[in-house]
Amino acid sequence: MSCTIIVGGFFGDEGKGKIVAHIAQEDHPSIISRGGVGPNAGHTVVVGEKEYGVRMIPSGFVYPDARLFIGTGVLVNPRILEQEIEQLDVRHRIFLDKRCGIIEEDHIARDKGDVYLSKKIGTTGSGCGPANSDRVMRVSRLAKDVPELQEFLIDVPLELNTAIDKGETVLLEGTQGFGISLYYGTYPFVTSKDTSASQIAADNGVGPTRIDDVVVVFKAYPTRVGEGPFSTEMSLVESDNMGIQEFGTVTHRQRRIGKWDGGMARYSAMINGCTQAAITGIDKIDKDCFGVKEYGKLSKIAKDFLKQAEEDIGSPITLISTGPELSQIIDIRGEI
Ligand code: GTP
Ligand code: IMP
Ligand code: MG
């Protein structure tokens, strides 16, 4: 019974969606609550032949018995929320905090129409930056001001803290990644809020003393979308030759690919207060590891990589993802 935060350790798109979905299936939380910026995020969850790309609903939706929350700090686009509620059939179990900030059409127009934001920073065009800016200027509408959201509104911190008091299992789901944090990332090439574990706790109104575990998700080959420095970036030719190509869930832009960055992993683990790490994309280190579900069946190349990564991170790697599908994972959390 615990409260766990899951966050991204590199530049976002580390595969948090898959990791959250797996933990939810295994640990049976009563609540999965989303923190982070808003619908600039796209979490991918692949279950069997079906692929979902969620921007508002927590990725843990695949576990049917959890209530799904959107935390106070998160920005909500009511149109995207409604589409996902319909598509995923979660109307009976989705709730959002009455104080969530609202993304208006004007925010999207300002995000896409501003050359500095859209070209120099390379934002997702989802309106998050302008909406957070209005929230700071105290002119934003909140969820409680939107008639069509009334049926979903609750006090998210009160529900979460009550569940924790009762000893229930709760997951707090982060979005984006450490390298694009407003505070700790490569400013100004960052998103409009901090993305570290402390922020995800604050987004949900759960105090630091109530968090038991922080799982930081890293990908074997980090990626970055949009502009900004990326010290271990490979050329497109190099990554293409290695058979590594990724496209964004929200903007469909091609993701820049880099090599493992041990220094960044360590610094990010420190600021996130990492207790356990997850590594995705081990099948990209060695194709023979695709779909492997037992640690003992990983190749020496993969095990050597994991040993080095664990030293860099400074915390145990307890989740090893070997492919995009939900069941392609090695979970050794019970063994530490
Ligand atoms: P943000 O919240 O937007 O930062 O995204 P995210 O961390 O949830 O990651 P996202 O789903 O955007 O990107 C991860 C991509 O890697 C998706 O296409 C996943 O299906 C895929 N993926 C996840 N784990 C693995 C893995 O172990 N191997 C491979 N090959 N792909 C994976
Ligand atoms: P914004 O958050 O749309 O303002 O975009 C600012 C920067 O953060 C851009 O480089 C985006 O590509 C990046 N970004 C925002 N959200 C995500 C995400 O969920 N995954 C990866 N990159 C993101
Ligand atoms: Mg993503």
Give residue-wise pLDDT tens across range 239-248: 999 889 999 8
* Residue 315 pLDDT greater than 80, yes or no: yes
Mean pLDDT in residue range 291-295: 98
Instruction: Supply the pLDDT for residue 256.
Output: 95
Residue 150 has pLDDT above 70, yes or no: yes
Whether the model clears a pTM of 0.85, i.e. scores above it, the answer is: yes
Residue 336 has pLDDT above 80, yes or no: no
Point out the ligand 1 atom lying closest to the alpha carbon of residue 45.
20
Q: Please state the rounded mean pLDDT for residues 101-121.
A: 97
Catalytic positions, please? 13, 43
Burial 6-21 (b: 16+ CB within 10 A, else e): bbbbbbbbbbbbbbbb
- What is the per-residue pLDDT for 1? 64
Question: Does residue 126 have its Cβ closer than 6 Å to ligand 2?
Answer: yes
CATH code at position 257 = 3.40.440.10
Q: Which atom of ligand 2 is nearest to the CA of 117?
A: 4
The domain tally of the chain equals 1
Q: Is the pLDDT of residue 207 over 70?
A: yes
- Any atom of ligand 2 within 6 Å of the Cβ of 268: no
Q: What is the mean pLDDT of residues 156-172?
A: 98
The answer on pLDDT for 199 being more than 80 is yes
The whole-number average pLDDT for the span 208-219 is 98
Task: Read off the DSSP letter of residue 335.
Answer: G
Q: Could you count the other beta carbons within 10 Å of the beta carbon of residue 25?
A: 16
Ligand 2 center–CA 69 separation, angstroms: 22
Mean pLDDT across the stretch 29-54?
97
Strands 75-76 and 101-102: parallel
Those residues with Cβ within 8 angstroms of residue 179's Cβ, 6 or more apart along the chain or in another chain: 10, 11, 12, 185, 186, 224, 264, 268
Q: What percent of the chain has pLDDT over 90?
A: 96
Q: What is the pLDDT of residues 225-266, one digit of tens each?
A: 999 999 999 999 999 998 899 998 888 889 999 999 999 999
Distance 166 CA to ligand 3 centre (A): 33
Distance of CA 256 from the midpoint of ligand 2 (Å):
13
Ranges assigned E (strand) in the chain: 3-8, 31-34, 43-47, 50-54, 67-70, 75-76, 94-97, 101-102, 153-154, 170-173, 213-219, 223-224, 256-257, 276-280, 317-321, 329-331
Find the domain containing 161 and state its range: 3-335
For ligand 2, whether the C-beta of 176 sits within 6 Å is: yes
